[in-house]
Structure 1
Amino acid sequence: MKTEAIRPARIDFSDGAAPVSMDFGDVYHTRTGALPQARHVFLGGNGLPERWRGRRRFVILETGFGLGNNFLATWQAWREDVQRCGQLVFLSIEKHPPTRDDLRRAHAHSPLQAQADALVSAWPALTPNLHSLDFEGGQVRLLLALGDVADWLRELVASVDAFYLDGFAPAKNPAMWDRRLFKALARLAAPEATAASWTIARPVRDGLHEAGFVVNLAPGLPPKPEMTVARYAPAFTPRRAPSRLTTHDPPTDALVVGAGLAGAWAAHALAREGVACTVIDRHASPGAETSGNPAGLFHGVVTPDDGAHARFNRAAALFAQRALAPLMDSVPGRMEGLLRLHPEGGGVAAMQAQLARLGLPAEHVQALDAAAASTLAGVPLGSPAWFYPGGGWISPAALTQALLQGIPLAAPHQVQALRPHGLRWQALDERGHVIAEAAVVVLANAADALRLLDHPAWPVQRIRGQITLLHTDAPLPRLPLAGAGYAIALGQERLLCGATNQPEDAEPLVREADHRSNLAQLARLLGTEITPRGELTGRVGWRFSAGDRLPVLGPVPATLPENTRLDQPRFVPRRPGLYTLTALGSRGITWAPLAAQALAAWITGAPIPLEATLLDVVDVARFTSRAARRSAGGR
C-alpha cells in the first residue's frame, strides 16, 4: 500500500454541542449528542448488544473514527453487558484523525470519562499505520487504520460482524460513500453481518444492495425520521484466499517450539487469545541462546522511499513500544529514547526534509544535528542522528522469562521430529517418544525449524554475533546508541557493545579478535576510543536472518498440487495446524511482539494487526511465490 502523510483534523470547537470539521464543513455528530446517536444508530441498528452475547469474539468495522464517540459508546455497552462477548475488536478507519490535544478537548466533559481518558492516554503517533490499542487487558481492542478508507478497506484482513457506516454527509465527503467501497465491505463481511448508518441517501442504499446486503429503513434518531440498516445476504459468497481464511472456532491448545524471544512472544500472544500453550525448549530455562544477551535495542527505521521494509519496521516499533511499556517496571531496561547515528552525508537539513516529506511526527522520530544529539546522549557525537523517543533497550533474557510466566515449559527437550496425529500434531524426542501434542505447532526455534520442516529452500542464513561487555572510567552515553554497531550503558560503569556479523561462522568460543573489532566499531560510533578497565567479557550467539531482512512467519506451505496459483503468498496452500515464526535477525526485540500478535490472530481467526501488503512481505509463503514467478518468467 502506498502511504501518504497523515494530516490531522482541523476542528472548530466554538460550538460546544457540535464540533465542526473545518476540512469538510460538517458537524462531527448531531446536536442531539454523540453518544445518543451512537447508541441508537450504530449499536441499535446492528442489534447490539444482543448479537454479541455468547460469542467468543465480535468484530466491528467503522468507516470513520471521527472523535471516537462510537467506539466509546460501544466499549461502555460491552462493559455494562453481563453476557458480553469474550473479546470486542473494533476496527476503525480515519483519514484525518484528531491530535491528542484535540481528542482530549473533545472529551473534556465526557459522560464516559474513564474510557475517554484511557483512549487519550493510548492515542498513537499519527503515522499511516494500523495501530493496535488494547484496553481491558486485551478484551477490548481498537485497531485504528490511519489513512484513506479506499486504501484501507483493501488492506484489512478480518471477518467483520457489524459495520458502522459513519462519516461526514455524502454531499460533503462523497469519497467516503463511493459505491466501490461497499464491495470491499462485502469482502470483509462474516455470514449474517449487519450494517447501519444515519444516512438514507439513495447511493448508499443502492451501493449496499449491489454488494449483497438486504437494505431497509428504520426509525432514525430525531430530528432524522429514518436511518439505514442492512444485513449481508449475498446471492453467492466471494472466495477468499486460502491462507487468509478466518474462523470463529480457533484451536484450544498449541505447542510452541523454542523459548527465545520469538517463542515467548508467540506463546504470550496465543495465551492472550485464549489458547492454552506449552513451550518446548532444548535448554532448561528460557532465553538460553541469543535471547540470553544482557541487553538489546528496539527502535524504528526511516528510509527515503518509505517502502515495505520501513513501513513494517515502523509498525513493529510502534507496537513494541506499547507492548514493552507495561513490562519496564519489572524487566531491566529503559524506554527513554534511542539515537541512531546518521553519518552517511547530507546533514541534518536533508534528514529533516525527508521527515517532512514522509510526514512522520516528532512523537515517533526526530532528526537532530550533532550538537542536539550530543546533548541528549551526554557525550560528544560527531554526526547527526535520528532520535526515536519510544526506543530504548531491554534485557531479552528477563523479557522472555516475564512473558512465559504461567505458561508451561517442557524443558530440556530436543524436538527431533513432528508427527501428524489425526487433526493434531505430536512433538517427538530423540527416542521417538511423544513430548507433547496439540492442535497447532508454532516453530519458533530459529534455524532448527528448517530441520524439522525437512530443509525447505528458504533464503535464510545463520549469522554469528559476539558481544563485548567492558568496564570503563570514560563517560557513558545516557541513551543507547545505534548505527555502525551499538552501545548500551548498563550502569555501574559497564558498557555493552557489538555485535559482530559473521555469516555461517560456527565458532562457539569468544574470540579476542572479535573483542578488538567491537571496540573499533565502538570508537567509530562515539568518535573516540574507549579505554576498558580490567578484563573484557563477551558472549556468542547466532542470529537467523532472511535475505530480504524481514521476519518469516505464517502457516507453513504445503506440497503444491499442479496448476495451483502461486504468484502471491496469500494463494499458496498451507499445512493445517503448522506455523512458523523465525528469522528475526538482529531486530528480535522490535519485531517479535507484532509478528507474534499477527501470527496469533492468523491462528485464531482474529483481525490481523498488519495490512495485507505487509503481511505478504513477511509471510513465509513469499519464498514459494517468488520461486513461482521466477519460473514463470523463465518460460
Structure 2
Amino acid sequence: MKTAPITPGRLAFSPEGVPLAPEFGDVYHPAAGALQQAHHVFLGGNRLPSRWGGRKCFVILETGFGLGNNFLATWDAWRRDPQRCERLVFVSIEKHPLTRVDLGRAHAASPLPELARALVSAWPLPTPNLHPITFDDGRVQLLLGFGDVALLLPRLVASVDAFFLDGFAPARNPEMWEPRRLQRLGRLAAPGATAATWSAARVVRDALSAAGFTVETTAGTGGKRDITVARFAPRHIAASPPGGWQAHDAASREALVIGAGLAGCAAAWALSQQGWRCQVLDRALEPADVTSGNPAGLFHGSFHRDDGPHARTLRAAALATERLAGAWIAQGRIAGQLAGCLRLESRWDDDAARAALAAQQIAPGYVDWMDRATASERSGLALPSGAWSYPGGGWLAPRDYARTLLAHADAGFRGGVDVAGIERRGSLWRALDARRQVIAEAPVLVLANGLGAKGLLGAGRNAALWPLTAVRGQISSLAVDALPGPLPCPRLPVAGGGYVLPPTGGRLIFGATSQPDDTDPALRDADHRLNLQQLAGLSGGDADAWSALPWRGRVGWRAVTSDRLPLIGAVPDLEALDSASRADQPRFVPRQRDARGGLYVFTGLGSRGITWAALGGQLLASWISGAPCPLEADLRDALDPARYALPRWRSDS
C-alpha cells in the first residue's frame, strides 16, 4: 500500500466557543455539546452500554475521530457501568488528526478532565500508522488509524460489534460517506453488530442496506430531526477463508509460551493485555539469559525512500517501543535512555536525504536528517558522515525490558526446562521432554524460542517454511576510566558499520560482529579487534591505541529470516494447503489452529529484538485473541509465517 503523508487538522473556534474545522467549513460538534451527541446518537443508537454487559471484549469502530469526544464519552460510560465488558477496544480513523497542542486546547474545559488529560498525554505522532494506545491498565484500548478512510478501512483486520459513523457532513466531506466505502463495513461486522450516525441522508441509509444492515431512522438531537440506526442482518454470510480471523473459544484462555527472551516475554505481556494467562518455559534458569541477556542494545525506526513494508512495519514497531519502554525508562524500571539515536548514512548527501524526507512529509519527531557537523556535535563523536536522527529512539537493557514485560503479564515462569518436542492431543498442545513426557500443555502454544522454533516445527517439507539463519554476534566493552586520551563516549547511540552506546555501568559497549552459520561460543580476540575498528570508524579514534586494554565481551546468536522480517502468526497447515484453492496470499493459507486452540510462532527478530518486541507481541495476541490487528492487513501479511508457504512469495523475498 502506498502511504500518503498526514496533514494535521486545523482548529478554530466560533464566537460562541464551538470548535471549527476551517478546511471543511464545518463544526466538530453541534452547539448543544459533543457529549450530548455522543450519548444520544452513538451510545444510544448502538444500545450501549447494555450490549457490552458481561462480554469479554467489545469492539467499536469509528469513522472520524475528530476531537475524540465520542471516545471519551464511551470510555466514561464504560467506567461507570458495573456490568461493563472486561475489555473495550475503540478503533478510530482520522485523516487530519490535530496536533497535541490543538487537542489540548480543544479539551481545555472538558467535562471529563481526567480522561481528556490522559488522551492528550498519550496522543501519538501524526504518522501514517495504526497507533495502539492503552488506558486503565490495558482494559481500554484505543487503536488510532491516521490516514484516508478509503485506504485504511479495507486494510483493517477486526471483528466489530458497533460502528460510530461520524465525520463532517456528506456535502462537505463526501469521501467519508462514499457508498462503496460504507458497504465495506459488512466485511468487518461481527454477528449482531449495530451502527449509528447522526446523518439521515438517503445515500448513507442505502449504503448501509447494501452492506447487510437493516436500517431505521429515529429521533435526533442537537437540531437534527432524525438519526440513522442499523443492525447487521445479512441475507448471506460468506465463509471465512482458511486463515480467517476468529478468536479461540477456549474458556480457559490459557497459552503455553516456549522461550523467555524478548519475544516470549512480550508475547506473555500482550496476551495478558487481552485477558489471557500464560505459562512461559525456558531452558535457561532465568528469563532473558541467552541472546536477550546482552547488557544493552539500541532501538530505532527506519526510513526508506519508497516507504515499503520494512520501513512501515519498523516505524510502527519503533513507535510502540517508544510508548511502552519509554515510560518504563522514565519510571526507572529499566536501565536505558530515550534521548534519540543516530543511524549513519554515507550513501546519501545532505540534499538527497532532505529531498527524500520532504517528498514523504514524515511527521517531525519521528525522523530527521543531520549533516555530518550537526550529527557529530549532537553525538559528541567525530562521525564520518551525516545521519538519520530518530528522536524517539535510544538504548535499553534488554534483560530488564524482557523481565519487566514478564512482570506485567499474567504469567508463570519455569526455567531450566528443555523442550525437545511438541504435539497436539485433542484440544491441547503439549510441550514434551526428550523422553516424550509432557512438560506442560494448553489450548494455545507459542514458539518464541528463536532458532529453537525451527527444530520443534519439523524438518523435511516443513523446513522450507522456516528460512531462519543463525547469525553469531560478539559485542565488546571497555571500562570508561581505562580509555586513554579523549574518550569516544557518545551522548546517544550511534549505529552504522557497527554501533556504540553511551557509557552504562561504567563501560563503553560497542560492536557487533555478524557471522552467519558460525557456532563458536568462545570470545575471540579477532572479533574484538573488528569491533575496535568499527568503534574507531564511528568515533574518529585509534583502534590500535585501545587494542591492549582489558576488555570484556559476550556472544549470542540471532535468528534472521531471508527477508529480514520476523515470523509472527499461526503456523501453516501444509496438508490442508495442498487442497486450498484461494491460497494466493498468506492470509488465505490454512493454519494449525481452530476454535479450540492453535500453534503459533514469534521468532526471526534478528538484530532488532528490542524494536520488534512490543508490536510483535501485540500482533501475536491479536492473532490468538481475535482482537483488532495493530497493523494493516498488508503489513500483517508481510510478517505472516505463511508467506514462505507460497512459491510466489518465496521467490519474491
TM > 0.5: yes
Is 2:565 aligned against 1:550?
yes
Write the deviation string for residues 291-343 of structure 1: whole angstroms up to 9, x where unpaired: 11100111000011101110000000001111112321111111111111222
SS in 2 for 1:617: helix
Which residue identity is paired with 1:220?
G
Secondary structure at 1:105 match in 2? helix
Is this contact kept in 1: 2:454–2:468, CA < 8 A? no
Residues 377-392 of structure 1: matches in 2 within 5 Å?
377-392=379-394
One of 475, 493, 499 as aligned partner of 1:467: 475
Which 10-residue stretch deviates more, 414-423 or 382-391?
382-391
2:520 equivalent to 1:501: no
Counterparts in 2 of 1:540 and 1:604: CA distance versus 1, 3 Å: same
> How far apart in 1 are the matches of 2:393 and 2:374?
17
**Counterpart residue number, 2:187:** 187
User: Is the deviation greater in 221-230 or in 8-17?
Assistant: 8-17
1:536 aligns with 2:551: yes
Provide closer, same or farther for how the CA distance between residues 492 and 165 of structure 1 changes in structure 2, counting only shifts above 3 A. Answer: closer
Alignment of 1:601-612 (within 5 A): 601-612=622-633
SS in 2 for 1:38: helix
Structure 2: which amino acid aligns with 1:424? L
CA distance in 1, matches of 2:145, 2:16: 27
Aligned runs of 1:117-516 on 2, under 5 Å?
A: 117-247=117-247, 249=249, 252-328=253-329, 329-347=332-350, 349-405=351-407, 407-455=411-459, 456-457=463-464, 458-471=466-479, 472-473=483-484, 474-491=487-504, 493-516=506-529
- Residue identity matched to 1:459: P
Report the number of matched residues.
Answer: 630
Q: CA deviation at 1:626?
A: 3.3
TM-superposed CA distance for 1:196, in Å, is: 0.3
Which one-letter code corresponds to 1:559 in the other structure? L
- TM-score of the aligned structures, taking structure 1 as reference length: 0.97
Give the alignment of 1:103-122 within 5 angstroms. Answer: 103-122=103-122
Say which SS state the counterpart of residue 379 (structure 1) adopts: coil
Residue 560 of structure 1: CA displacement? 2.8
Q: Distance in 1 between matches of 2:643 and 2:431?
A: 26
CA distance in 1: counterparts of 2:523 and 2:401, whole angstroms: 24
Residue 70 (structure 1) shift: 0.6
- Which is further off, 428-437 or 490-499? 490-499
CA distance in 2, matches of 1:370, 1:572: 48
Aligned with 2:243: secondary structure? helix
Go from structure 1 to structure 2 and tell me whether the alpha carbon gap of 1:396 and 1:491 turns closer, same or farther (over 3 Å shift). Answer: closer
Deviation (angstroms), 1:459 = 2.2
Aligned partners of 2:248 and 2:624 also within 8 Å: no
| Separation in 2, partners of 1:102, 1:82 | 34
Q: Does the 8 Å contact 1:215/1:231 carry over to 2?
A: yes
Residue 337 of structure 1 aligns with an amino acid whose one-letter code is G
1:417-474 deviation digits (Å, cap 9, x = unpaired): 1121210011111122211110111001111111111132132211000101112241
Higher mean C-alpha displacement, 477-486 vs 245-254: 245-254
SS in 2 for 1:537: strand
Q: Distance in 2 between matches of 1:16 and 1:534?
A: 72
RMSD: 1.6
| 1:520 maps onto 2:495 in alignment | no
Secondary structure in structure 1 of the residue aligned to 2:404: helix
Range moving further from structure 2, 46-55 or 391-400: 391-400
Tell me whether 424-433 or 542-551 shows the greater mean CA deviation: 424-433
Residues in 1 aligned to 2:457 and 2:16: alpha-carbon distance in whole angstroms: 62
Q: Measured at CA, do residues 225 and 447 of structure 1 come closer, stay the same or move farther in structure 2, by a change above 3 Å? A: same
Q: Distance in 1 between matches of 2:610 and 2:97?
A: 29
C-alpha displacement of 1:493: 4.6
Query: 1:595-606 to 2 correspondence within 5 Å?
Result: 595-606=616-627
Do the aligned residues in 2 keep the contact of 1:266 with 1:596 (CA within 8 Å)? yes
Q: Which amino acid aligns with 2:349?
A: G
State the shift of 1:630 in Å.
5.9
Deviation at 1:492, TM superposition (A): 5.5
CA distance in 2, matches of 1:350, 1:40: 53
Greater Cα shift, 279-288 or 225-234: 279-288
Q: Structure 1, residues 184-206: CA drift from partner, whole Å, max 9, x if none?
A: 11000000100000010000000
SS of the aligned residue for 1:194 comes to: strand
Report the Cα offset of residue 601 of structure 1. 1.2
Q: Secondary structure at the match of 1:243?
A: coil
Give the match for residue 594 of structure 1.
615
Please say if residues 253 and 440 of structure 1, whose CA atoms lie closer than 8 Å, have aligned partners that are also in contact. yes
Query: Cα distance 1:206–1:318, how it changes in 2: closer, same or farther (>3 A)?
Result: same
CA distance in 2, matches of 1:176, 1:625: 36
Shift of 1:408: 1.5
**What's the counterpart of residue 71 of structure 1?**
71
SS at match of 2:79: helix
Q: How many Å separate the matches in 1 of 2:299 and 2:6?
A: 24
TM-score by length of 2: 0.94
CA distance in 2, matches of 1:249, 1:188: 19
2:603 corresponds to which of 582, 586, 595: 582
Shift of 1:475: 4.3
* 8 Å Cα contact 2:478-2:508 kept in structure 1: yes
Is 217-226 or 402-411 further displaced after alignment?
402-411
